[in-house]
């Protein structure tokens, strides 16, 4: 069946090409997202991958599976993006009437974007090689994707292909036009870096009573501007970031002061639940003078046990990717 589709696609049959590639489309998009850390960049890389596959199908010799061949194209397309100078630049604080506290540090991964859970269905339940080391749920989390972005491009590609997807070292070497020894060396260095960034405490199960309790308490605290209640939900070393703003805050006290500055300015929000990267997320809507609430961003929570260990705020341009409206009626 696949051989027939390949022959028809090589002859210019668009439907045959779609039938060949559609089963792999979502997992390839997630692969591009892990490599690039940006939802929009991943969409662009996926489209470029499919165009390259269409144009290069005549060169597919069948020695590797079609899936492996597509991963080779996608990986190298992402490596080209990572090596370019065109990543999204940092922005500056522009909320009138709110003076944020001094940040703990300035972050470098300002291109980070969330990934909608609605697009994960069928994308992370994929065949894994026996050497895969990460649960698929962990490997799409914001913390993991953020940690990946700190790796050099070649180490990043090797770690995803080997430890997340479980491709054999020989196949990874073929995808990257390098040697097995080079793959092993890059993987060793990448593992050492990521080992330092793994969370010591896992989150509660999705939609479990424990997760629901923390989420409900967060919504109450945020919508009522109750800083004390919010701070009580945070771990001691809670981390807050706001890409593409480079401002980063770490520690319960400074995160509490940041949230207090927002609420003290009279800003009041309604939260609309969604999910991103397998984590609880919310569209945030700011009440205006007319009573209409306008979207101001998307918040993603990282949970550790029964506490919030990280809060990440993204621009309101992400709302449409999650099927959320730009505003709520009064």
Per-residue pLDDT of the chain (330 residues; tens, 9 = 90+): 788 898 899 989 999 999 999 999 999 999 999 999 999 999 999 999 999 999 999 889 888 899 999 999 999 999 999 988 677 889 999 998 999 999 999 999 999 999 999 999 878 778 888 889 998 889 999 999 999 999 999 999 999 999 999 999 999 999 999 999 999 999 999 999 998 766 668 899 999 999 999 999 999 999 999 999 999 999 999 999 999 999 999 999 999 999 999 999 999 999 999 999 999 999 999 988 888 999 999 999 999 999 999 999 999 999 999 999 999 987
Tokens 């609880």, residue located:
280
Which pLDDT belongs to residue 196? 75
Q: What is the pLDDT of residue 85?
A: 65
Burial of 274 (0-12, 13-18, 19+ CB in 10 A): buried
- Which residues pair with residue 249 across a beta bridge? 240
Supply the pLDDT for residue 267: 94
From its phi and psi, is residue 33 left (phi > 0), alpha (psi between -120 and 50) or beta?
Answer: alpha
Question: Could you give the CA distance from residue 13 to residue 182 in angstroms, rounded to a whole number?
Answer: 39
Question: Would you say 286 and 269 are in contact if contact means Cβ atoms under 8 Å apart?
Answer: yes
pTM for this prediction: 0.95
**Interatomic CA distance for residues 97 and 85, integer angstroms:** 34
Q: Say what the pLDDT of residue 198 is.
A: 66
């Amino acid at each position: 069946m696949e051989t027939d589709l390949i022959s028809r696609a090589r002859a210019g049959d668009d439907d045959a090409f779609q039938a060949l590639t559609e089963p792999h489309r979502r997992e390839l998009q997630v692969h591009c997202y892990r490599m690039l850390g940006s939802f929009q960049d991943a969409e662009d890389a996926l489209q470029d991958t499919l165009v390259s596959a269409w144009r290069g199908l005549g060169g597919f010799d069948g020695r590797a599976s079609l899936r492996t061949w597509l991963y080779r194209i996608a990986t190298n397309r992402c490596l080209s993006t990572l090596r370019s100078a065109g990543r999204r630049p940092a922005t500056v604080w522009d909320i009138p009437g709110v003076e944020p506290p001094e940040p703990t540090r300035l972050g470098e991964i300002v291109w980070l974007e969330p990934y909608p859970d609605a697009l994960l269905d069928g994308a992370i339940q994929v065949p894994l090689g026996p050497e895969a080391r990460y649960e698929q749920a962990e490997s799409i989390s914001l913390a993991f994707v953020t940690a990946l972005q700190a790796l050099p491009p070649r180490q990043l590609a090797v770690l995803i292909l080997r430890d997340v997807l479980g491709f054999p070292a020989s196949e990874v070497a073929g995808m990257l036009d390098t040697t097995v020894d080079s793959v092993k060396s890059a993987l060793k260095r990448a593992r050492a870096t990521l080992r330092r960034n793994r969370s010591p405490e896992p989150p509660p199960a999705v939609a479990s009573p424990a997760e629901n309790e923390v989420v409900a308490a967060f919504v109450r605290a945020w919508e009522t501007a109750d800083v004390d209640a919010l701070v009580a939900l945070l771990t001691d070393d809670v981390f807050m970031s706001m890409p593409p703003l480079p401002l980063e805050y770490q520690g319960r006290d400074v995160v509490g002061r940041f949230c207090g500055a927002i609420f003290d300015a009279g800003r009041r929000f309604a939260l609309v639940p969604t999910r991103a990267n397998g984590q609880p997320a919310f569209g945030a809507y700011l009440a205006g003078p007319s009573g209409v609430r306008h979207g101001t961003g998307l918040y993603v929570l990282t949970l550790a046990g029964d506490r919030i260990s990280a809060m990440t705020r993204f621009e309101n341009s992400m709302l449409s990717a999650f099927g959320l409206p730009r505003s709520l009626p009064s």
